[in-house]
Amino acid sequence: MGIKWDEFFVTGDPLIFASQIGIALTLVGALAGLTYFKKWNYLWSEWFTTVDHKKIGIMYILLGVVMFLRGGIDGLMMKGQTAVPENDFLNAQHYNEVFTTHGVIMILFVAMPLLIGLMNFVIPLQIGARDVAFPQLNALSFWLTVSGAALFNISFIIGGSPDAGWTSYFPLAGKEFSPGIGNNFYAVALQIAGAGTLMTGINFVVTVLKMRTKGMTLMKMPMFTWTSFITSIIIVASFPIFTVALALMTFDRTFGTHFFTISGGGMDMLWANLFWLWGHPEVYIVVLPAFGMLSDIISTFARKTLYGYKSMVISIVMISVLSMLVWVHHFFTMGNSAGVNSFFSITTMAIAIPTGVKVFNWLFTMRKGRIKFTTAMLWALAFVPNFVIGGVTGVMLAMAAADYQYHNTLFLVAHFHYVLIPGVVFPIFAGLYFWWPKMFGYMLNEKIGKWHFWLFVVGFNVTFMPMFFLGLDGAVRRAYTYSAETGFGPLMMISAVGSVILAAGFAALVYNIYWSARNAERNIGNDPWDARTLEWATATPVQHYNFASLPEVTKLDAFWHMKKNNELRPLAEDEIEEIHLPSNTWIPIYMGVVFGISGFLLVFEWTIAAGVAALGILAGLAFRSFDYDEGFHVHKDEIFETESKWRKGANKGVKNHVS
């Protein structure tokens, strides 16, 4: 295959060269550090081979935070480039690569891992289960996501980044107009990560249906469990579409077929349809669990049960159905008949109805409550006004005739950032502050948290509000530069300043994580927020078997009622039984690595080598099918010791940490 090293690595750009050196140094430093502190064994046995849903959840979150850094730097570079007219910080090609990777990373490698991470950690606890339905599959999902993320991320130093936008519209994304391998990274990396996500979807559908504890009927599930369940169903319904679309894209790009290319009878709009048939539900895949988190957090800090629980459930089901019926609103301008555009206008606007119901239910959950302004609650509160702006502009965009003027402008960009940041990122932050003590046994600092909150929320509004007006003035998205005569300069500059404030907010979060890990108080009991759902009914941080005896549920907000009725009693020694848990396994991480290697070879179009490497996948599957390890039992003594330790201290002599 004649490797040409001068083309293998991306060369010629000082920014990228600096990153290459930085990445190499970080890698060497990390490897050296791990070896020096003898942490390899710990990492391998406690984390890399784990099948514990809590650890997998935490690793997902770590992946999401790291990717947030990467996607955020991409965003800052874009804002830096467009801050002034005719800037030459980035050239057109580099800018195209940056906005493409920004979009893909933020949606697929930030929002998804953070949400799936929180789902992983919280859902089994909320339904009173010891694990997810398929723990080893869960680990496999995670390592495939890591594998996809790693493959996608190396593109900018090795081989060249994708540059056709996160939507990768054909014919631009085809070989006719994007030769080189940049866009192969898109097709292959997302395929691998998408397989992981699909398996997560299946896993959580089964987990929620089959693993609920005694008495927890569907209509007694906490809202986060409900939304995650519906999200998992949408994943199962929509990700196969993406899988097929990406496979066809790979054929077009690697083997010269003509599914989407304009030559040889291909149909470019087929890609757009398939992409958005997945891509629009994807928006709800990330937004719905976030809605669920908000519901739980708002009811906790308003000290009230969720208002209109039943209509909340109905509305998320409605949203999930409608989410599959609106994809054409992404290309109202492709020359559909007026009838088609009218139909999709109406279905799209209809989504505002269940969403509006939810907003009012949240407001009325707080009514007559006693609202505590913890950092988690501030994020949940900030969601409402900001998301409403995103929502109403969404309705404006849904009106096809009006969309002819907004389409592909910065108005659209502002809209979806107003939906995705308050609708996904704010709730994720809320969830992190809320569940952090459950994960690690200490809280994130509330004071630094408030800095994080105010900088981020103000920065967000300063960044994206001007874009509405720029769009209405005719500024198009994805343009790397503009002339001074357009008059976009001042608002673009304000927007750039906002992005710096936004970044400072994120920096405050990172500092908070560091500060709290070192300094936060550890004696916080198992229920620091006076919360309502079952995940708070066990130790903090959660012991590896979750619950010594599985709780029984009679009502919504089960834990709240247990507290009120004094049903939380110490566990008697004779009530303890051995607990069966699955063993750690190296197969998931091995599969991740093999998928990564064969994916990498496929990206470079070394198809035979990729095929050979893919035999490793079969080997892993074969090995798994001969794996008769049936797990292990946690001994009674260990359970008794652990349980008496935390139950003794539970909520006694613990400072109230809620300010």
Partner 1 sequence: MKKSKLFLVSLTSIMAVLLLSGCENNMVVFNPEGPIARQILELINFSIALMLLVTVVVFGLFGFIVWKYRERKDNMDYEPPEEHGSTVLEIIWTVIPIIIIVALTIPTVKTIYAIDEIPKGYENKEPLVINVTSADWKWIFSYPEQGVETVNYVNIPEDRPIDFRLTSAGTMQSFWIPALAGQKYTMAKAETQLYLVADNPGSYVGKNTNFNGQGYAGMEFEVLSQTQKDFDQWIKDVKETAPKMTLEEYEKMLEPSHLGRKTFSNTHLDWVDHSDPHSKNYTNPEMYDRGHGWPGKIFEDKDNYKYKDGNNENSNHENNENMNHKESETEDSHGGDHSGH
Q: What angle do CA 377, 382, 383 make, to 5 degrees?
A: 100
CA dist., res. 259 & res. 246, Å (int) = 11
Residue with Cβ nearer partner 1 (172 or 513):
172
Which of 53, 55, 280, 304 lies at the binding interface for partner 1 (CB under 8 A)? 304
Per DSSP, helices labelled H in 424-541 are 426-440, 446-472, 489-519
Give, as ranges, the residues between 12 and 71 that touch partner 1 (CB under 8 A): 12-13
Q: How far apart are CA 169 and CA 636, in angstroms?
A: 58
Q: Which helix (H) or strand (E) holds 632?
A: strand 632-634
Query: Residue 471 CB, nearest distance to partner 1 (Å)?
Result: 8
Give the burial string for 146-181 (b: 16+ CB within 10 Å, else e): bbbbbbbbbbbbbbbbbbbbbbbbbbebbbeebeeb
Q: Which residues pair with 476 in a beta bridge?
A: 409
Rounded to the nearest 5°, which phi and psi values hold at 581? -130, 155
At its nearest, how many Å lie between partner 1 and the CB of residue 77? 16
Interface stretch with partner 1, choices 145-153, 367-375, 436-444, 624-632 (CB under 8 A): 367-375
Nearer to partner 1, 284 or 418 (CB): 418
Q: What is the 3-state secondary structure (H, E, C) of 148-178?
A: HHHHHHHCCCECCCCCCCCCCCCCCCCCCCC
Q: Which stretch binds partner 1 (CB under 8 A): 29-37, 123-131, 247-255, 623-631?
A: 247-255
Candidates 105, 198, 283, 349; binder of partner 1 (CB under 8 A) is 349
| Binders in 568-627 for partner 1, by CB under 8 A | 604-605
Q: Considering only residues 308-337, where is the footprint of partner 1 by CB under 8 A?
A: 308-311, 331, 333-335
Lookup: tokens for 56? 């997998």
- With helix as H, strand as E and coil as C, how does 288-318 read? HHHHHHHHHHHHHHHCCCCCCHHHHHHHHHH
Beta bridge partners of 632: 581
Other Cβ atoms within 10 Å of 442 Cβ, number: 21
Q: Any contact of residue 176 with partner 1 (CB under 8 A)?
A: yes
The correct pick among 18, 28, 39, 404 for binding partner 1 (CB under 8 A) is 404
Q: Which residues are designated catalytic? A: 60, 70, 74, 78, 99, 120, 131, 138, 141, 145, 197, 200, 207, 280, 282, 284, 295, 311, 355, 358, 415-417
Residue identified by tokens 């108005």 is 411
Going by the DSSP 8-state scheme, the letter that residue 554 receives in this structure is -
CB of 606 to partner 1, least distance (A): 10
CA end-to-end span of the chain: 64
Residue 270 found at the interface with partner 1 (CB under 8 A): no
Between 256 and 570, name the residue whose CB sits nearer to partner 1.
256
Residue indicated by tokens 């709290």:
516
- Chosen residue from 17, 47, 237, 268 binding partner 1 by CB under 8 A: 268
Among 224, 426, 480, 590, binds partner 1 (CB under 8 A): 480
Q: How far is the CB of 612 from partner 1 (least distance, A)?
A: 18
Instruction: Report the site for partner 1 in 382-401 (rule: CB under 8 A).
Output: 382, 384-385, 388-389, 392-393, 395-396, 399-401
Closest-CA residue to 655 (of 566, 555, 523, 534)? 523
Phi-psi category of 323—alpha, beta or left, where left has phi over 0 and alpha has psi -120 to 50?
A: alpha
**Dist. CA 423–CA 435, nearest whole Å:** 18
Q: Cβ of residue 577: shortest distance to partner 1, in angstroms? A: 35
The residue from 19, 20, 87, 93 that contacts partner 1 (CB under 8 A) is: 93
CB neighbourhood size of 433 (10 A): 27
DSSP string for 347-368: HHHHTHHHHHHHHHHHHHHHTT
The residues, any chain, with a CB within 8 Å of residue 272's CB and separated by 6 or more, are 167, 169, 170, 330, 331, 334
SS3 633: strand
| Residue placing its CB nearer to partner 1 in the complex, 120 or 191 | 191
Residues that bind partner 1 (rule: CB under 8 A) add up to a total of: 119
For residues 492-521, which are near partner 1 according to CB under 8 A?
none
Interaction between residue 369 and partner 1 (CB under 8 A):
yes
Kindly tell me which of 142 and 307 has the beta carbon lying closer to partner 1.
307
Exactly one of 407, 415, 532, 563 binds partner 1 (CB under 8 A); that residue is: 407
373 near partner 1, judged by CB under 8 A = yes
264 sits near partner 1 (criterion: CB under 8 A):
yes
List the interface residues with partner 1, window 451-470 (CB under 8 A).
454, 457-458, 461, 465, 468-469
Binding-site member from 62, 69, 262, 493 for partner 1 (CB under 8 A): 262
8 Å CB contact between 576 and 635: no
- What's the min distance (Å) between Cβ of 344 and partner 1? 10
Q: Which span (262-270, 513-521, 524-532, 643-651) binds partner 1, by CB under 8 A?
A: 262-270
Taking contact as CB under 8 A, which single stretch among the options 41-49, 341-349, 499-507, 516-524 is the one that binds partner 1? 341-349
Query: What does the chain come to in residues?
Result: 659
Alpha helices (runs of H) in 217-267, residue ranges in sequence order: 223-250
Q: Is 84 among the residues that bind partner 1 (CB under 8 A)?
A: no
Binding of partner 1 by 303 (CB under 8 A): yes
260 forms part of the interface with partner 1 (CB under 8 A): no
Q: How far is the CB of 613 from partner 1 (least distance, A)?
A: 17
Give yes or no for residue 646 binding partner 1 (CB under 8 A).
no
Minimum Å gap between C-beta 105 and partner 1 is 18
To 5 degrees, how large is the angle CA 115–CA 118–CA 122? 140
- Among 71, 182, 281, 541, indicate the residue that binds partner 1 (CB under 8 A): 182
Stretch that binds partner 1, among 17-25, 70-78, 368-376, 571-579 (CB under 8 A): 368-376
